[in-house]
Amino acid sequence: MLRPLKKLKLESFNNLTKTLSFNIYDICYAPSEKAQKEYIAYIDEAYNAERLTGILTEVAQIIGANILNIAHQDYDPQGASVTMLISELPLSEEPLNPEAPGPLPEAQARQAAARAIHPEAVVAHLDKSHITVHTYPEMHPDNGISTFRADIDVSTCGKISPLRALNYLIHVFESDIVIIDYRVRGFTRDVRGTKHYIDHKINSIQNFVDKPTLNRYQAIDVNVYQENIFHTKLMLKEFKLDNYLFGVREGDLPASDTKVVTQRLKHEMSEIYTGTNVVRIS
């Protein structure tokens, strides 16, 4: 049974800032200039400002936040950004923030439908909380590799934790590589004046991802517990070449090209996952 930390009776407002930085990468092989441009156009359409706004709206609902303001922009030639100012919803009881996965997209959709049937009035304001997303499509003109990166930051000030949205984000982006950072900053005081530098249990970011999803990824943790800094990297274990090709199918490639393209893709993924340029030996 999951046990939350003992409830803290605070002296005043909860001043802890909890920040989740979620970076996803999509990698593909587009052999021609035409295919590369089509890939960038596809990504630009699939992750335009309107769709990203919808994703961040779901994130706000999952973590229990009220949206105060939205700014969004599509860019020319490509890319998009969305910024939301948010506030904590009025809480009927102390959030438990257990070290457990949050809802998946299907469960979140059901909850949204229920809210539409039984809406609640919200009056609240909380400074210094926001959600942002920026996208970065790019391509290599010579070796056919194209990538897409989306950076999402969820920063909350108060009792709610952005980690509850992590499970949803991993599923909704269906990413090849996921880089996750979580940090709790500042402190809050209890009624005795004692400082508390974190108000919920966390041993690993991996504990906030459901097991079936986590089993699909190779995962590495780099944590600095005494500083409340947590870092996790995920890379898909399963590799099916057709899932990484754009503008061509595996069956259309000569056997020699299949081997070279596979090596290029795996090399690219390894470099992004490790954050290191790896010398390729051919």
Question: Token pair for residue 91?
Answer: 């809480």
Q: Which of 87, 155, 157, 161 is catalytic?
A: 157
Phi first, then psi: give them for residue 103, nearest 5 degrees. -70, 150
HSE value, Cβ hemisphere, 13 Å, CA-based, for 3: 2
Active site residue 157: yes
Q: Which of 87, 129, 161, 175 is catalytic?
A: 129
DSSP for 12-37, written as a single string: SS---EEEEEEEEEEEEE--SHHHHH
The C-alpha atoms of residue 176 and residue 180 are separated, in whole angstroms, by 13
DSSP reduced 3-state for 72: strand
Residue 208 contacts by C-beta under 8 Å, 6 or more apart in sequence?
99, 100, 101, 102, 163, 164, 166, 167
Across the chain, the runs of DSSP E, i.e. the strands, are 17-29, 65-74, 80-88, 130-139, 145-157, 177-185, 188-189, 195-196, 217-221, 229-236
Q: Which of 21, 72, 81, 134 is catalytic?
A: 134
Active site residue 134: yes
DSSP reduced 3-state for 114: helix
Determine if residue 8 is left, alpha or beta; phi over 0 gives left, psi from -120 to 50 gives alpha, anything else beta: beta
Q: What DSSP character marks residue 280? A: P
- Helix, strand and coil content of the chain, in percent to the nearest 5, comes to 35, 30, 35
Active site residue 129: yes
Residues noted as catalytic: 129, 134, 157
